[in-house]
Amino acid sequence: MAKATKKQALGRGLSALLKDPENDIKSVQDKNADKVIGNIIELDIDYIEVNPFQPRTNFSEESIKELASSIKELGIIQPITVRKSDFNKYQLVSGERRFRAAKLVGLDTIPAYIRIANDQESLEMALVENIQRQDLDPIEIALSYQRLIDEINLTQEQMSERVGKKRSTIANYLRLLKLDPIIQTGMRDGFISMGHGRALITIEDQSIQLDIYESILSKKLSVRETEEIVRNYGTTKEPKTTNNNTTEKDNPEYIKKGITVFSEYFGHKIDVKVSKNGKGKITIPFHSEEDFNRIKKLVEGAK
């Protein structure tokens, strides 16, 4: 207990040092930088801003409330990491869930590791830290890898060294981004697994990808069954027909463009059938009660 009290007192002492304008630390060469950089400091929450480079976009409100309840009872066990951007201004590098939960509880301060980093280093740290999380979906990981390539100019070999993953593993994640956006959304929502996605990647035509994706959902196909369908798809697939025996490819151009808009909005491939007189029918599929309620909320929100 004595050690914990001493550590907290040290944190408060360093916090006071940071609030002194005459000791404004902007680089590792500045006076007293060694006392601050890499140490745990009780930092005022109001001084911290969310990282604009944060690669994670989905935060479960329920899980944050659960974390807030835990923090209220036990305190924050693992400090967040921030980078100093200006006097009394800091930017989150990692720990946004803890930061949000602490604000929800109403804490005035939060334990934080202080780092000095430029924008590129901050982005790389946030991306690499994000990839190491256990609760990320495959698409989120793939997008983080892609940002390391596009914005940090890392090669797959360099990424392999940074994150401790095999180059082949990284390549498999990146290939998922070739899937139709609707399928990527389905993977993020947990409707299909990464194994299903990897099987679908071998098909270049995204309209065919979507056909098989709908079969996976409606028939609850396993990864192995999906792989078998993909192998045999070229010889067994028959073109879809409308009621007047015209193929889906014969739909008017405005229908083809509209299907994409509807499909992206509802998160499923929407079926549109048009007769020769121009009348038609739009079918919106759903695959569970949860999926139905999700679509219902989209419609209610559009009113």
CA distance 301 to 93: 33
How many other CB atoms are found less than 10 A from the CB of residue 80?
A: 22
Q: Which of 197, 193, 192, 194 is nearest to 180 (CA)?
A: 197
The alpha carbon of 252 is separated from its chain's Cα centroid by a whole number of angstroms, namely 36
Kindly provide the b/e burial profile for residues 109-145, where b requires at least 16 CB atoms within 10 angstroms of the residue's own CB: bbbbbbbbbeeeebbbbbbbbbbeeeebebbbbbbbb
238 an active-site residue?
no
User: Of these residues, 49, 62, 66, 96, which one is catalytic?
Assistant: 96
Q: What does the CA dihedral 150, 154, 155, 157 come to, rounded to 10 degrees?
A: -140
* Cβ–Cβ under 8 Å, residues 96 and 133: no
* Helix extents (H) in 154-249: 156-163, 167-175, 181-188, 194-201, 206-219, 223-236
Q: Which residues are designated catalytic?
A: 96
